[in-house]
Structure 1
Amino acid sequence: MSMIHDHLQIDQLLKQSTVRRQLTVPELVETAVRREEGVLTSDGAFRATTGAYTGRSPKDRFIVEEPSVKENVEWGAVNQPITTEIFESLEQKVLQYLSGRNQIFSRRAYAGADSRWRLPVDIINEYAWHQLFAHQLFLRPEEIEGEAEMKPFTIISAPGFKAVPEEDGTRSEAFVIVSFEKRTVLIGGTAYAGEMKKSIFSIMNYLLPEQQVLPMHCSANVSDDGDSALFFGLSGTGKTTLSASDDRQLIGDDEHGWSRDGIFNFEGGCYAKGIGLTQEKEPEIFQAIKFGTVLENVALYEDRSPDYESDFFTENTRAAYPLTYIPSAATPSTAGHPQVILFLTADATGVLPPISRLNRSQAMYHFLSGYTSKLAGTERGITEPTPVFSPCFGAPFLPRDAAVYAEMLGEKMEEHDTDVYLVNTGWTGGAYGVGKRMDLRFTRAMVKAALNGDLAHTSTITDEAFGLKIPASCPDVPPEVLQPRLMWDRVEDYEAAAKVLAAKFHSNFTRFNNVTEDILRGGPVL
Structure 2
Amino acid sequence: METNTVHKLADILATATVHNNLPVAKLVEMAVKRGEGVLTDKGALNALTGKFTGRSPKDKFVVDEASVHDKINWGPVNQPISPEKFQLLQQDVFEYLQGKELFVFDGFAGADQTYRLPIRVVNEYAWHNLFARQLFIRPSEEELANHEAEFTVVYAPNFKANPAVHGTNSETFIVLSFEHKTVLIGGTEYAGEMKKSIFSVMNFMLPERNVLSMHCSANVGQEGDVALFFGLSGTGKTTLSADPNRFLIGDDEHGWSDNGVFNIEGGCYAKCIKLSEEGEPQIWNAIQFGTVLENVDVDSDTRKADYDSDKYTENTRAAYPVDMISGAVIPGVAGQPNVIVFLTADSFGVLPPISKLTKEQAMYHFLSGYTSKMAGTERGITAPQTEFSTCFGAPFLPLHPVVYAEMLGKKIDERNVQVYLVNTGWTGGPVGVGSRMKLSYTRAMVTAALNGDLAKVNYETDATFGVQVPTTCPNVPAEVLLPRNTWADKEAYDKQAADLASRFIENFQKKFPNATDIAKAGPKA
Bin of the TM-score, shorter chain as denominator length: over 0.9
- Matched with 2:238 is 240
**Amino acid in structure 2 at the alignment position of 1:476:** N
Residue in structure 2 matching 1:139, options 137, 141, 147? 137
Distance 1:384 1:104 in 2: 48
The alpha-carbon distance between structure 1 residues 294 and 374, as it changes in their structure 2 partners (threshold 3 A), is farther
User: Would you say 1:152 and 2:158 are equivalent positions?
Assistant: no
Question: In 2 relative to 1, CA 386–521 (structure 1 residues): closer, same or farther, beyond 3 Å?
Answer: same
Decide which moves more: 137-146 or 494-503. 137-146
Equivalent AA in structure 2 for residue 116 of structure 1: T
Partner of 1:440: 439
Match of 1:356 in 2: 355
- Aligned counterpart, 2:34: 35
Q: State the partner residue of 1:73.
A: 72
* TM-score (norm. length: structure 2): 0.93
Return the alpha-carbon distance in structure 2 between the equivalents of residues 385 and 237 of structure 1. 14
| Conservation of the 8 A alpha-carbon contact between 2:461 and 2:469 | yes
Structure 2's unaligned 5+ residue stretches are: none
State the SS of the aligned residue for 2:329: coil
Worse overlay, 74-83 or 280-289:
280-289
Question: Where do 1:79-478 residues align within 5 Å?
Answer: 79-101=78-100, 103-142=101-140, 152-301=150-299, 303-373=302-372, 387-432=386-431, 435-478=434-477
CA distance in 2, matches of 1:506, 1:148: 52
Q: Which whole-Å deviations, capped at 9, do the CAs of 1:436-463 have from their partners, x for residues lacking one? A: 5443333222211211111222223433
Contact 1:55 1:192 in 2 (8 A): yes
Residue segments in structure 1 that go unaligned for 5+ positions in a row? none
* Distance across 2 between alignment mates of 1:171 and 1:340: 42
Corresponding residue for residue 521 of structure 1: 520
Distance 2:127 2:88 in 1: 27
Letter in 2 for 1:324: D
Q: CA RMSD in A?
A: 2.7
Structure 2 CA distance for aligned equivalents of residues 379 and 96 of structure 1: 41
Deviation at 1:503, TM superposition (A): 0.4
* Aligned equivalent of 1:53: 52
The one-letter code matched in structure 2 to 1:70 is H
Instruction: Tell me how far 1:424 sits from its aligned partner.
Output: 1.9
Q: Which moved more, 1:334-343 or 1:452-461?
A: 452-461
Q: Bigger shift: 16-25 or 247-256? A: 16-25
Mark the CA change 1:48 to 1:515 in structure 2 (over 3 Å): closer, same or farther: same
Amino acid paired to 1:14: L
Q: Retained in 2: the 8 A contact 1:58–1:379?
A: no
Instruction: State how far apart, in whole Å, the 1-side matches of 2:417 and 2:451 are.
Output: 13
Q: So what's the TM-score if we normalise by structure 1?
A: 0.93
Change (3 A) 1:150 1:105: closer
Residue 445 to residue 487, structure 1, CA distance change in 2 (3 Å): same
What is the deviation of 1:240? 2.3
Q: CA separation of 1:32/1:487 partners in 2, compared to 1, >3 Å: closer, same or farther?
A: farther
Aligned residues: 523
Cα deviation 1:318-357 (Å, max 9, x = unaligned): 1111011011111221111100001112333333222211
Q: Percent identity?
A: 59
CA contact (8 A) 2:255 2:263 kept: yes
The one-letter code sitting in structure 2 at the alignment partner of 1:295 is L
Moved more, 108-117 or 365-374: 365-374
Q: Please give the alpha-carbon distance, in whole angstroms, between the structure 2 residues aligned to 1:312 and 1:375.
A: 21
For residue 271 of structure 1, report the CA deviation from its aligned partner.
0.8
Counterpart-to-counterpart distance in 1, 2:102 and 2:434: 49
SS at match of 1:56: coil
Change in 2 beyond 3 A, CA 1:449/1:281:
farther
Q: Which residue number in structure 2 is paired with residue 62 of structure 1?
A: 61
Q: Measure the CA separation in 1 of the matches of 2:77 and 2:222.
A: 39
Q: Secondary structure at the match of 1:356?
A: strand
1:48-84 CA deviation, whole Å, 9 max, x = no partner?
Answer: 1212211111111100000000000010111110011
Query: Is this contact kept in 2: 1:227–1:338, CA < 8 A?
Result: yes
Matched letter for residue 403 of structure 2: V
CA separation of 1:17/1:161 partners in 2, compared to 1, >3 Å: closer, same or farther?
closer
Q: Tell me the secondary structure at the aligned position of residue 285 of structure 1.
A: helix
TM-superposed deviation, 1:516: 5.0
Cα gap change, 1:480/1:465 in structure 2, threshold over 3 Å: closer, same or farther? same
Deviation at 1:494?
Answer: 3.0
CA contact (8 A) 1:458 1:471 kept: yes
List per-residue Cα deviations over 1:139-166 (Å, max 9, x = no partner).
0002997999996100011111122323
Distance 1:366 1:453, change over 3 A: same
For residues 208 and 72 of structure 1, what CA distance do their matches in structure 2 show?
13
- What secondary structure is seen at the aligned counterpart in 1 of 2:206? helix
Task: Quote the Cα distance in structure 1 between the aligned partners of 2:321 and 2:489.
Answer: 47
Indicate conservation of the 8 Å contact 2:15/2:99, yes or no.
Answer: no
Deviation at 1:430, TM superposition (A): 4.2
Deviates more, 1:35-44 or 1:160-169: 160-169
1:498 aligns with 2:473: no
Query: Would the aligned equivalents of 1:369 and 1:390 in 2 still touch at CA under 8 Å?
Result: yes
User: 1:317 deviation in Å?
Assistant: 1.5
